[in-house]
Structure formats: structure tokens, C-alpha cells
């Protein structure tokens, strides 16, 4: 029996062997004349060929002596998919020996050494010209609407479906694990992963820890049998890179399906409605941040054709786009997008308390437990949920028994690595679900102030002015959530701080000040305190600034009353002028017929009255405009 972890650490097989008994023994097949070294997987690396079977001598191959048809033969011989990259020095420089005899494959051969080759060796092969080869991974999705959706199959000698369940008959296929398959398929991001029942058959089981360590699916596959096989859906033509989760990163779009070419998008050609479509296509929540260069700079290519989405489309490439490309896109303008995580708390008194639910595969389900999982692993899950909801930290988390139902099982080690809840969710049946309370449980209270001056009651959230000696009242209130609680009115001036507390009656409290004094000038806030779920919670209002003025000082009159006072002054002056004019008019009427001089004086008075009236009209117009 050979221990795999021992071998993976670099030890020889003999060092990792222990005696055991078994009815199954290992059969192994590997190509004996070609290999890829210094690669990132079994299907990538610098090509080496065994040129002498007797001396077991390996040598690199010169790029000039190797073409696409030769690469197809090597990839097939290694059990990989078709070649995707063929480039010299891609996997490091190499010292001699260098094989310089040209291969002349037709592309159909089963092994590279079955191909014809040139009779004589070349004399030279330039440095940096050793063949670097990347073959695609032998992975595919079948039976779906596109090459990026369907049943996941893997080839190791033969094509088989991938099992959805583990040997314990629960699924550990999370989006984080499925992202590896979408990446190998060059199909963007993982959107949904689920299983379907089939007849019991030979399948490949994929180890989560192996995949998440960076290994290819084929390297992590073990033969097994199962009646549940994996269905997977990838985003296909959009993806977010340089990301912190599946729902954030720099946006890239596959602009050419045949060449599998991805390019970034210019910020000028992308708006909020386009972002809504992308977030929906990726299975995320609504867009929360849209900012250029938020997830790093990018080199060309840059897609500069403008998207014109209505916001209702199911995919970005379903949207209309401008007819021609722009000429330029400034540096630092590649679209960076953050979509909200599809997580919520339901059934509580606020959005920060209730039963934890996650939306995955377009379905909201509660988060549940597996055997004794809730008692051991809920702290990490709860902390991640409160963080994603922007609800502070976890205060209380409890398991609650319910009917057996489909739930999402969250792997705590996945969350601890920094992944979002949705990336770590796998389907499970359980009778236990989680209720969670976060620290930002309460809504923000309101603060208002009213004054008895002239019987006018006003409330402002930024600044308020009262006259010295007048009565004013500061009110604290909060929308109904829980009964009880108390309000603390906090007053801060330039040199002191005072607090007053009253119980909440009908979710409000009123603090009366019989006579305003300069000492009352400063900032006020309401803090609501509540004891619930065996925890103390508090929530603070915004600040209110209050000034106290002397009523004898005209400059201290509130700006809202100045138009009224000015208007009254103009009215009184006009009225005095009218009365004076009438007095002289009546006096003249009772006496002799006024001579020419008196007529002129009377006319002057009339003109004066008319001018005063016009002045009043102008003043009223100015006040209305103010």
C-alpha cells in the first residue's frame, strides 16, 4: 500500500510503502518516449523525447522541428486534449542536449516516435527555442444548451461522467470546486452546480482538497461507481478576474469564440444596466461597485465596442452593441465590477437577524448542518454571513430543528480560506437549519427638534436655531422592531458631554427644555439601547446641531423667518405713505380749489404712493424668488 501524501511530498515509492492485503491491484499506463516537464499540470510543460531507449537519454525538441500536427500526436499520446499553446521557451530555457531532427507527423499517429523524421540532424538550434506545449485538459460538458453547460465528463483512457456524491453519499461539489472545471474548459466562471440521478455506473470521483490545491481535475480523479452524476453550468462568455470572490473582479468578455480570446471592457462603454446583466449572468446579486481599474490595470486587448443593455437580458452578449469600435480607451479604465453576494437572513425583525439563506442554482435555501456540524463549525459560517451582509459581527448563532429538507451545506475550511458562502455551498438534506443574529441588528433611530417660537414646530437633521428663553423639545424615535428599550440623548459642546436617558414609549422618547440657554448650544444624537436574544444592542442616529440666539439681535433671526419680517416692514411703510397722501387730498378737497402749485404737490404725493406700491411689489417678488 503506497501512501499518496508521502509520494506527493517527493519521496520515492519504496519509502511510502507499507504491507497490506487487498483484492485490487494497480495497472498503470504511461508513454515511454515523450514527457512534459516544468509544467503546471500533466498536460503542459517543455517537451522532452527519449532519443535512446538503451541509455534512457531524454532531450528537448527544437521549435523549428515541431509543428501543430506533431503537437496533436503528443497531446493524444499523453492522454490530453488538443494542443492549445505551442511556443518556444514557454516553460523555461534548457541546456543541451537538444534534439534537432525534424518530426514529420501527419497528425493521426498514436505516438510521436511513430512519425517520420528528417534523415539528418540540423546543425544549430537557437537558444530559447525549446518546444513549450500546452494541451487542453480532457474535460467536457455534454447534453447542455452549449459547450459550457451539461454533464461533466472526464477522460482517463475512457470518457466517464463525474460523480456528484462522495463515498459518504453527500455532495462536496461547491462552486469553488466547480470553478476549476470551468477554467479548464475556458468557459468563464462557475454559475451553478448540481446533481441528477442516473443508473449506477462507473464514474470518476474528484477530491476537493486536490482540486483546490491547484491540480487539474484529471490528476484528482479516482475510479468509482455512483448513481448520481454532476451537472455544471459556466458563464461561458463573461468572467471576473483578479477577484476576491466569484462576484467581484475585472470584467473580461470572450470576443471571439473560435480563438477563445478574452479581452477587458472599457469603462466608457459600460453602465449600470450592463452591470445588472453581468451580475445576473454570474448568478450573483445586484451590482454594488462599478469602477475602472478597481481590480488592477490591464494591458491590451481592450474591447471598446459599447454595450447597450436594457437591464433585462439574461447574458451580456445578448445585448445590443455599438456598430464600430472606439479609437481609444484611456489607461486605468478597464471595468472593475463588484456584485453583491446572494445571502440573506429571513424571518427576523431586521435584515441582520433571522434564518440564514443562500441563493445558489437560482434557488434560495436555508443553510443546514450535517451530523454534528453546526456545533463545531458555525462560528466561521456566521462570521462570514454577517460580513457579506454588511451587518457587523456575529452575536448569536443557533441550530434549529425543522423538517428534513434540501439545504446548503457550507464547508467551513472553504470559508476560512477567504471564499464567499456561495462558493462553499453544496447540496444536502438535513433537519437542522441555522438562525443568526448580527451586531447591526437595529435600524437607525431618528432625531428631531421642535420650538415653541410663534407656535411653529420644525425639525431639521443638520442645523436648528432657537431663541434664548424659548421652549424646545428634542424627540427620539425608531421604527417598530422590538418592544421596550430606552433612548439616550447625548449632548456634546465644546467643553462638556452630557447624557439623559428615558424609556422608549411607543418606540419614542421626548426630552423637554423649558428655557433655551447658551449652554444648550452644541450637537445632539439619539442612541437606542435594547436587550434582546440575551445580548445588548445599540444604534445611533445622525447628529443634530443646535444654536441658541438672542431675539434682540436681527442677525440671529432664523433665515426661514427673514422674508416674512422684511415683507411686514415694507407693508407698514407703504401703508403710512398712503395714509399721509389721503390726509392731504381730503384737506385740499374741503378747502378752496387748489391752485396750480397745490395740484403739483398732490400729484407728487400720488406719484409717491404709486412708487411705494411698486417698491412693495418688487420686494414681494424678490422675497418669493429667495
In a domain, 14, yes or no: no
User: At residue 128, does pLDDT exceed 70?
Assistant: yes
Q: What is the pLDDT of residue 597?
A: 47
Bridge partners of 190?
A: 234
Q: Are residues 450 and 545 in the same domain?
A: yes
Bridge partners of 156?
A: 158
Q: Which three cell numbers stand for residue 68?
A: 501543430
- How many structural domains compose the chain? 6
Q: Are residues 470 and 539 in the same domain?
A: yes
Bridge partners of 476?
A: 447, 509
CATH number at residue 116: 3.10.250.10
The residue with greater pLDDT, 409 or 292, is 409
Distances (CA, A) of 236 to 257, 320, 340: 10, 18, 20
Q: Are residues 465 and 546 in the same domain?
A: yes
Give me the helix-helix angle, 596-625 and 562-590, nearest 10°: 170
In a domain, 11, yes or no: no
Q: Are residues 254 and 332 in the same domain?
A: yes
In a domain, 4, yes or no: no
- Report the range out of 157-161, 459-463, 563-567, 575-579 with the highest average pLDDT: 157-161
In a domain, 365, yes or no: yes
Q: Are residues 156 and 77 in the same domain?
A: no
Four-CA torsion 277, 282, 287, 288, nearest 10 degrees? -170
Q: Are residues 335 and 347 in the same domain?
A: no
Nearest to 260 by CA among 405, 148, 163: 148
Q: Are residues 322 and 350 in the same domain?
A: no
Residue 377 pLDDT level (bands cut at 50, 70, 90): low
* Last residue of one domain, picked from the residues 413, 438, 463: 438
Q: Are residues 144 and 131 in the same domain?
A: no
Residue 470 CA to residue 556 CA, distance in Å, equals 14
Q: What is the pLDDT of residue 558?
A: 52
Lowest mean per-residue pLDDT among 165-169, 249-253, 491-495, 621-625: 621-625
* Last residue of one domain, picked from the residues 202, 234, 266: 234
Q: Are residues 351 and 420 in the same domain?
A: yes
Q: Which three cell numbers stand for residue 365?
A: 435555501
Residue 41 pLDDT level (bands cut at 50, 70, 90): confident
What is the DSSP-derived secondary structure letter of residue 268?
G
Distances (CA, A) of 278 to 238, 272, 314: 7, 10, 8
Lowest mean per-residue pLDDT among 189-193, 297-301, 412-416, 518-522: 297-301
Q: Report phi then psi at 335, rounded to 5.
A: -65, 125
In a domain, 498, yes or no: yes
In a domain, 2, yes or no: no
User: At residue 354, does pLDDT exceed 90?
Assistant: yes
Q: Range of 571's domain?
A: 562-625
In a domain, 223, yes or no: yes
Q: What is the pLDDT of residues 334-349, one digit of tens each?
A: 888 999 888 999 998 7
Q: What is the pLDDT of residues 268-292, one digit of tens each?
A: 888 999 999 999 999 898 898 787 6
Four-CA torsion 535, 541, 545, 548, nearest 10 degrees? -70
Contact (CB, 8 A) for 186 and 242: no
Q: What residue has cell string 410663534? A: 454
Distances (CA, A) of 126 to 2, 89, 245, 461, 622: 43, 11, 43, 76, 87
Q: Are residues 418 and 347 in the same domain?
A: yes
Nearest to 543 by CA among 439, 460, 481: 460
In a domain, 81, yes or no: yes
Q: Are residues 76 and 48 in the same domain?
A: yes
Q: Are residues 128 and 143 in the same domain?
A: no
Sign of the CA dihedral with 65 first, then 67, 69, and 74 last: positive
User: At residue 622, does pLDDT exceed 50?
Assistant: no
* Last residue of one domain, picked from the residues 438, 464, 480: 438
What is the DSSP-derived secondary structure letter of residue 452?
-
User: At residue 601, does pLDDT exceed 70?
Assistant: no
Note the pTM of the prediction, 2 decimals: 0.66
Amino acid at each position: 500500500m503506497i501512501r499518496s501524501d508521502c509520494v506527493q511530498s517527493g519521496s520515492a515509492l519504496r519509502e511510502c510503502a507499507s504491507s497490506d492485503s487487498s483484492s485490487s491491484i494497480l495497472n498503470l499506463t504511461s508513454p515511454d518516449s515523450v514527457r512534459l516537464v516544468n509544467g503546471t499540470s500533466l498536460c503542459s510543460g517543455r517537451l522532452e523525447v527519449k532519443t535512446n531507449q538503451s541509455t534512457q537519454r531524454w532531450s528537448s525538441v527544437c521549435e523549428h522541428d515541431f509543428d501543430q500536427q506533431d503537437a496533436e500526436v503528443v497531446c493524444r499520446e499523453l492522454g490530453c486534449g488538443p494542443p492549445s499553446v505551442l511556443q518556444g521557451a514557454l516553460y523555461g530555457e534548457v541546456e543541451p542536449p537538444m534534439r534537432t531532427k525534424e518530426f514529420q507527423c501527419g497528425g493521426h499517429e498514436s505516438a510521436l516516435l511513430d512519425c517520420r523524421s528528417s534523415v539528418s540532424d540540423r546543425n544549430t538550434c537557437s537558444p530559447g527555442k525549446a518546444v513549450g506545449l500546452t494541451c487542453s485538459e480532457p474535460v467536457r460538458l455534454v447534453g447542455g444548451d452549449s459547450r459550457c453547460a451539461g454533464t461533466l465528463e472526464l477522460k482517463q483512457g475512457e470518457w466517464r461522467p463525474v460523480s456528484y456524491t462522495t463515498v459518504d453519499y453527500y455532495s462536496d461539489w461547491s462552486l469553488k470546486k466547480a470553478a476549476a472545471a470551468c477554467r479548464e474548459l475556458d468557459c468563464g466562471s462557475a454559475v451553478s452546480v448540481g446533481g441528477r440521478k442516473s443508473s449506477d455506473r462507473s464514474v470518476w470521483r474528484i477530491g476537493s482538497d486536490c482540486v483546490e490545491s491547484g491540480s487539474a481535475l484529471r490528476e484528482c480523479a479516482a475510479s468509482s461507481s455512483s448513481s448520481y452524476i454532476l451537472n455544471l453550468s459556466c458563464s461561458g462568455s463573461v468572467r471576473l478576474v483578479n477577484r476576491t470572490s466569484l462576484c467581484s473582479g475585472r470584467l473580461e468578455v470572450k470576443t471571439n469564440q473560435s480563438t477563445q480570446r478574452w479581452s477587458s471592457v472599457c469603462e466608457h462603454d459600460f453602465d449600470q444596466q450592463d452591470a445588472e446583466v453581468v451580475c445576473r449572468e454570474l448568478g450573483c446579486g445586484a451590482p454594488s461597485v462599478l469602477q475602472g481599474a478597481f481590480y488592477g490595470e490591464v494591458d491590451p486587448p481592450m474591447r471598446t465596442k459599447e454595450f447597450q443593455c436594457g437591464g433585462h437580458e439574461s447574458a451580456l452578449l445578448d445585448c445590443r452593441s455599438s456598430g464600430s469600435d472606439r479609437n481609444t480607451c484611456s489607461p486605468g479604465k478597464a471595468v472593475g465590477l463588484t456584485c453583491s453576494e446572494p445571502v440573506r437572513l429571513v424571518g427576523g425583525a431586521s435584515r441582520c437577524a433571522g434564518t440564514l439563506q443562500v441563493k445558489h442554482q437560482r434557488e434560495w435555501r436555508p443553510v443546514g448542518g450535517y451530523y454534528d456540524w453546526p456545533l463545531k463549525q458555525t462560528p466561521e459560517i456566521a462570521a462570514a454571513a454577517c460580513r457579506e451582509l454588511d451587518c457587523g459581527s456575529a452575536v448569536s448563532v443557533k441550530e434549529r430543528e425543522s423538517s428534513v429538507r434540501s439545504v446548503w451545506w457550507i464547508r467551513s475550511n472553504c470559508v476560512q480560506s477567504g471564499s464567499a458562502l456561495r462558493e462553499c455551498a453544496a447540496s444536502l438534506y438535513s433537519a437542522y437549519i441555522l438562525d443568526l443574529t448580527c451586531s447591526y441588528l437595529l435600524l437607525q433611530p431618528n432625531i428631531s427638534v421642535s420650538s415653541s417660537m410663534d407656535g411653529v414646530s420644525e425639525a431639521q437633521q443638520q442645523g436648528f436655531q432657537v431663541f434664548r428663553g424659548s421652549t424646545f423639545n428634542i424627540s427620539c424615535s425608531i421604527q417598530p422592531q422590538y418592544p421596550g428599550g430606552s433612548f439616550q440623548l447625548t449632548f456634546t459642546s465644546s467643553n462638556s458631554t452630557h447624557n439623559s436617558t428615558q424609556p422608549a414609549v411607543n418606540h419614542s422618547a421626548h426630552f423637554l427644555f423649558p428655557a433655551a440657554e447658551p449652554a444648550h448650544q452644541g450637537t445632539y444624537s439619539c442612541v437606542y439601547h435594547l436587550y434582546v436574544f440575551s445580548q445588548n444592542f445599540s444604534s445611533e442616529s445622525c447628529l443634530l446641531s443646535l444654536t441658541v440666539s438672542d431675539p434682540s439681535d436681527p442677525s440671529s433671526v432664523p433665515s426661514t423667518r427673514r422674508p416674512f419680517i422684511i415683507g411686514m416692514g415694507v407693508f407698514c411703510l407703504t401703508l403710512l405713505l398712503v395714509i399721509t397722501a389721503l390726509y392731504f387730498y381730503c384737506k385740499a378737497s374741503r378747502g378752496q380749489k387748489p391752485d396750480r402749485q397745490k395740484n403739483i404737490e398732490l400729484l407728487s404725493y400720488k406719484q409717491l404712493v404709486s412708487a411705494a406700491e411698486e417698491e412693495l411689489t418688487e420686494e414681494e417678488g424678490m422675497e418669493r424668488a429667495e
